[in-house]
């Protein structure tokens, strides 16, 4: 570790951070955004939880079902980038409210009935409405906290993803089993509408959304062109690493329930419970990473180590676990490795968001986060279709091939994070 590694860039006044970042309103908003991400991922998980029922109801092959899930990401990435740029000009409060209302509208056509075309159209609209959710929610939460206090709120908003699946999986599985998969769509639509009402009353933007709050006294704000931010090694490395992590998340949401039932022989009810395991592992990793990163940064360790290399370690552990799946026998051992591999490999999101939030000045933060998310979530467009093709070609063995492929990608992501991430080197600095 060099001297440069122990001299983090200071971009916000510490006293202002203490006064603003610890207020009750900041944590109320953060809590609402956690719930926002819970609803968001409950929406995404419905089709994966009901995969067998939907395929039987509509007579779909694994490839067709994979393509139907990939349709969710058709406009997902485009919307993430476009709305991310818009978030630098429009208050995130109103963008988030519009998204939540659109989620409810998008669920309605498939919930009412119709065939594959209606399902695909509904998922395309839902994907467009949900694509910007994560970067805009993170931008809204981080606007209440200075850089050195962002790890916990960033982790909590990401943790909402895990909570969404952990709470939704058993409940939605029960609804699907007893009332059908369309009833589950009505449940998540109602949850989105209820959140929108709460957010309209209690939501707000924080003071760190503006340049003035994040510059040292007397120093002008730096507003570089987007291409200067997106061309840095830190942004490129973060995005590449996050892409591999999102690939693992996409497979967890869409295909892991089917793998547990059809590939590993778990019963329907057991699979509904076991699907929670990788998300639980990811939740523990997420909070541990936030605590470790915050502890390191408070002691003067740079983000190169505290974020980049801690994140690389998570991806490496996830890769090793996935690559070990073919080497063990028995459903229990394979399930444990799947939980570790996808849980650890899928927990890079907070590292990615807080790194880019440190790299990009406030006037470019929404665009930098949105463009990263747009790039990363193309994994969700590709992964379900690839796995569907593998399952149709190789049967149950195709699931295991997909896990090994994920392990290889996570290994590349760990390498990118370890070698490229260094916000202290790449962040624009105030003129002197």
pLDDT tens digit sequence for 347-403:
999 899 999 989 998 888 889 988 998 899 899 888 988 988 999 899 989 999 999
Three-state DSSP state, 89: coil
CATH class of 24-204+227-424: mainly alpha
For residues 23 and 313, the model is more confident at 313
Is residue 332 packed enough to be buried (19+ CB in 10 Å), middle (13-18) or exposed (0-12)? exposed
Of 152, 111, 109, 112, residue with least CA distance to 21: 152
- Residues in contact with 218: Cβ distance below 8 Å, sequence separation at least 6, in sequence order: none
Distance of CA 143 to the CA centre of its chain: 18
pLDDT digits (tens, 9 = 90+) for 312-356: 999 999 999 999 999 999 999 999 999 999 999 999 998 999 999
For the chain, the average pLDDT equals 86
Give, in order, the Cα–Cα distances in Å from 403 to each of 134, 243, 324, 332, 339. 25, 16, 10, 16, 11
pLDDT digits (tens, 9 = 90+) for 251-288: 988 889 889 999 999 987 888 789 889 988 998 998 89
Contact 131, 11 (CB under 8 A): no
Contact 85, 139 (CB under 8 A): no
Distance CA 353, CA 244 (A): 15
Distance CA 86, CA 40 (A): 20
Distance CA 343, CA 286 (A): 9
Question: Hey, where are the domains in the chain?
Answer: 24-204+227-424
DSSP symbols for 270-334 = HHHHHTHHHHHHHHHHHHHHHHHHHHHHHTT--HIIIIIIHHHHHHHHHHHHHHHGGGS-SHHHH
Picking from 129-138, 200-209, 323-332, which range would have the lowest pLDDT averaged per residue?
200-209
The pTM of this model reads 0.76
Is residue 258 packed enough to be buried (19+ CB in 10 Å), middle (13-18) or exposed (0-12)? buried
- Residues in contact with 308: Cβ distance below 8 Å, sequence separation at least 6, in sequence order: 234, 237, 238, 351, 355, 417, 418, 420, 421, 422
Contact 149, 17 (CB under 8 A): yes
At residue 222 the predicted structure's pLDDT band, cuts being 50, 70 and 90, is low
């Amino acid at each position: 570790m060099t001297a440069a590694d122990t001299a983090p860039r200071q971009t916000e006044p510490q006293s202002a951070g203490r006064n603003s970042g610890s207020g009750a309103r900041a944590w109320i908003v953060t809590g609402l955004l956690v719930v926002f991400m819970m609803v968001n991922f409950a929406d995404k998980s419905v089709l994966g939880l009901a995969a067998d029922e939907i395929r039987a109801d509509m007579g779909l092959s694994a490839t067709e079902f994979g393509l139907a899930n990939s349709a969710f990401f058709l406009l997902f990435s485009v919307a993430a980038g476009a709305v991310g740029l818009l978030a630098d000009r429009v208050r995130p409060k109103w963008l988030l409210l519009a998204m939540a209302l659109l989620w409810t509208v998008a669920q309605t056509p498939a919930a009412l009935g119709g065939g594959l075309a209606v399902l695909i159209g509904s998922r395309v609209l839902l994907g467009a409405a949900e694509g910007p959710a994560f970067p805009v929610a993170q931008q809204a939460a981080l606007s209440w906290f200075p850089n050195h206090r962002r790890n916990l709120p960033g982790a909590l908003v990401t943790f909402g993803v895990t909570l969404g699946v952990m709470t939704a999986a058993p409940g939605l599985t029960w609804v699907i089993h007893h009332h059908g998969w369309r009833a589950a769509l009505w449940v998540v639509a109602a949850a989105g509408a209820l959140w929108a009402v709460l957010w309209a009353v209690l939501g707000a933007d924080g003071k760190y959304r503006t340049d003035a709050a994040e510059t040292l006294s007397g120093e002008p704000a730096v507003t570089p062109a987007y291409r200067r931010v997106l061309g840095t090694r830190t942004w490129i490395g973060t995005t590449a690493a996050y892409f591999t992590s999102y690939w693992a998340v996409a497979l967890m949401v869409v295909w892991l329930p089917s793998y547990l039932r059809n590939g590993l022989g778990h019963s329907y009810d057991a699979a509904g419970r076991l699907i929670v395991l990788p998300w639980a592992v990811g939740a523990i990793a997420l909070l541990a990473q936030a605590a470790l990163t915050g502890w390191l940064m408070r002691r003067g360790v740079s983000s190169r180590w505290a974020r980049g290399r801690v994140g690389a370690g998570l991806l490496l552990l996830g890769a090793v676990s996935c690559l070990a799946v073919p080497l063990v026998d028995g459903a229990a051992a394979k399930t444990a490795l799947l939980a570790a591999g996808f849980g650890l490999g899928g927990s890079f999101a907070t590292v990615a968001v807080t790194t880019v939030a440190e790299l990009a000045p406030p006037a470019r933060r929404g665009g930098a986060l949105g463009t990263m998310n747009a790039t990363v979530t193309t994994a969700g467009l590709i992964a379900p279709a690839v796995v569907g093709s593998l399952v149709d070609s190789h049967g149950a063995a195709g699931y295991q091939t997909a896990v090994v492929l994920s392990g290889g990608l996570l290994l590349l992501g760990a390498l990118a994070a370890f070698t490229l991430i260094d916000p202290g080197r790449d962040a624009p600095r105030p003129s002197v």
